[in-house]
Amino acid sequence: MRPTGGPGAPRRAPDASTPAATAPDPPPARPPATPPATAPPGTGAGAGTSTDAGTGAGTATGAAGAAAAPGVETASDVETEGGATPRERRSADARALTQVLFAELSGLEPGTPEHTRVRTALIEVNLPLVRYAAARFRSRNEPIEDVIQVGTIGLINAIDRFDPHRGVQFPTFAMPTVVGEIKRYFRDNVRTVHVPRRLHELWVQVSGATEDLTVLHGRSPTTAEIAARLGIGEDEVLACIEAGRSYHATSLEAAQEGDGLPGLLDRLGYEDPALAGVEHRDLVRHLLVQLPEREQRILLLRYYSNLTQSQISAELGVSQMHVSRLLSRSFARLRSANRIEP
């Protein structure tokens, strides 16, 4: 017989009276994970806390707390109870953070590291304004990155000039400055005539070759020298030069160089006001032949020689009242004969 406690003995169900102490203690319960704390709108990382001055603008603000950790759902990604969309929530957060940053900026000395940090944070927070303004110019055949860069210059100017105590929202104040800077860029630097991309890229090479050959020879290079330098035809060089001229508009008021002539605007033809009266004169001449000679003369003196009724009366030796009656009668005859409504 095997011992009851041996390895081969069948296991018996534990008796209810068996003390519980024989069972191993369960592992201690772990406390529930605490969700990551979220900052209220406008008080994200970098909004009101300061870091070391040497960390730079990028680490001080963390893009104004806009980027969350991967897998963490931010408040801007969930529709609020009031029905606000994520875009509206992000816009509201950006406005609130902008107000906090401007309040902090107003108490800092310009040129200090802290002032630079907060100013850079304001630029980063409001870059969506620049992207929105730049999107209005997508049809201008210019790289959108260049337009955004120009608009950012306008944003920086708006930040430097903005007064938060005037009671105006910063986006309302900044948008005209951003759009104006972009329009100025298109007015001063963009081609006035659309040039194919290939010619535009080749023109850059032609310009570089022209500068290099000018330094090398001490004079302006010929078309053949530029073509030989780039390995292209002379006709392509000429086409590129013409394409490059499309960047510069000719002033209508600037005087022409060399010939001493006035500006193009002064030499353009203008509308002669007398031309509009040619048809009228021809029509009146046709109508006047229907009147007696005396009445024809009165009308000519009145409306072609611009004499007054008193001067006409002295010219014809009649009273002014009589001249007035003759004019009225002449008009009545012309209207009656030609069905002209008064």
> pLDDT tens digits for 276-330?
666 666 777 777 888 888 888 888 888 888 899 999 999 888 999 999 999 898 8
Give me 127's structure tokens: 């870059």
Decide: pTM greater than 0.75: no
Highest-confidence range of 37-51, 86-100, 309-323, by mean pLDDT?
A: 309-323
- Residue written as token pair 């972009």: 182
Q: Output DSSP code: residue 66.
A: T
> How far is the first Cα of the chain from the last one, in angstroms, to the nearest whole number?
144
pLDDT at 7 over 60: no
Tell me the pLDDT tens digit for each residue of 212-271: 999 998 999 999 999 999 999 998 888 888 777 666 555 555 565 555 555 656 656 566
Can you name the CATH fold of 197-249?
Arc Repressor Mutant, subunit A (1.10.10)
pLDDT at 174 over 90: yes
Among 273, 277, 319, 282, smallest CA distance to 298 is for: 319
pLDDT at 153 over 90: yes
Tell me the pLDDT tens digit for each residue of 57-74: 343 344 444 433 334 344
Tell me the pLDDT tens digit for each residue of 108-148: 988 899 999 999 999 999 999 999 999 998 887 778 898 99
Q: In this predicted structure, what is the pLDDT of residue 277?
A: 65
Helix, strand, coil % over all residues of the chain, rounded to 5? 60, 0, 40
Domain range annotation of the chain: 53-62+84-189, 197-249, 287-338
* Domain range 287-338, CATH class: mainly alpha
In degrees and rounded to multiples of 5, residue 16 shows phi and psi of -60, -25
* Domain range 53-62+84-189, CATH class: mainly alpha
Q: In this predicted structure, what is the pLDDT of residue 250?
A: 57
Report the alpha-carbon distance of residue 112 to residue 52 in Å, rounded: 12
pLDDT band at 198 (very low <50, low <70, confident <90, very high): confident
Give me 256's structure tokens: 């022409």
